[in-house]
Amino acid sequence: MPCRGGSSDFYWQGEASVIAAIVDIVSSRNVDAHERRRLDKELRALLKETIEGFKENCIATPSLTQGDSIELLVNSWQPIVFLFHRLLMEDVEFRVGLGTGDVIIQKENADECDGQAFWNAREALDGIKRTKYMNRSAAFRIDETSPNDERMAVTSSVLLYTSLLGMSTVQLHHCYYYIWEKKRISEIAKATRTSKGNVSKTLSKTPCYLLERVMTFLDH
């Protein structure tokens, strides 16, 4: 739980899960000004979705810094995996580092916070950048003092993200409606303007049904 420090800062230690995520937007590299503005607008819309859907899980407001990086400070795997899913749906290439540990909550935005969780997330992300011979897009660094629920939240985030990586854009869209919006096959067909048969066939070729069951289990 948060406790008062000697200044106006708040220190978040132990007792409650806290996970920092630093998402490096690779897609923002080497694009012209017009495309950069479009991507910036798209990313801000995705962050708004994340905040509105998981407000109770956001310890600080998710931040987009200079269009190149997203920072999250959350108490659960849900907003992390939701954002991953949405980024993949929009074909946004990214790398992410996840970290746990104590944090200093200085202001309401995640990029204005500091502490071990962010240092670990940054170190995990830097490790991906240094590893040129492996095609990795996610890494994590768990503080040795982190409780089991933090460890579970981080590893769940990475495993669920890995399950999403192998899906096509169409599969990601159908799976999004099924998992996050809890739509039935007929509702997904209507939303995507296709037949129920196509939706059923698409979902059957993915681990979507299993993912939904796993997420429901983790949520409880």
What are the tens digits of pLDDT across the range 160-185? 999 999 999 999 999 999 999 999 99
Q: How many CB atoms lie within 10 A of CB 132?
A: 7
Give the pLDDT score at 8: 47
In this structure, the answer to whether residues 129 and 159 fall within a common structural domain is yes
In this structure, the answer to whether residues 31 and 85 fall within a common structural domain is yes
In this structure, the answer to whether residues 47 and 115 fall within a common structural domain is yes
In this structure, the answer to whether residues 20 and 111 fall within a common structural domain is yes
In this structure, the answer to whether residues 12 and 118 fall within a common structural domain is yes
**Final residue before a domain boundary, out of 147, 165, 183:** 165
In this structure, the answer to whether residues 87 and 8 fall within a common structural domain is yes
Q: Domain of 53: which CATH number?
A: 3.30.70.270
Residue ranges for the chain with pLDDT beneath 70: 1-17, 67, 132-134
Give the pLDDT score at 133: 57
In this structure, the answer to whether residues 102 and 200 fall within a common structural domain is no
Give the pLDDT score at 3: 30
Number of domains in the chain: 2
Write out the residue range of the structural domain in which residue 33 sits. Answer: 2-165
102 touches 118 (CB < 8 A) = no
In this structure, the answer to whether residues 176 and 90 fall within a common structural domain is no
Which residues, including other chains, have CB under 8 Å from residue 6's CB and lie 6 or more apart? none
Instruction: With H, G, I as helix, E, B as strand and everything else as coil, classify residue 168.
Output: coil
Give the pLDDT score at 134: 63
**Final residue before a domain boundary, out of 146, 165, 184:** 165
In this structure, the answer to whether residues 132 and 76 fall within a common structural domain is yes
In this structure, the answer to whether residues 159 and 190 fall within a common structural domain is no
In this structure, the answer to whether residues 153 and 172 fall within a common structural domain is no
How is residue 107 written in tokens? 């202001």
55 burial type by CB count under 10 A (0-12 exposed, 13-18 middle, 19+ buried): exposed
Give the pLDDT score at 17: 67
In this structure, the answer to whether residues 134 and 173 fall within a common structural domain is no
Quote the CA–CA distance of 145 and 140 in Å, as a whole number.
15
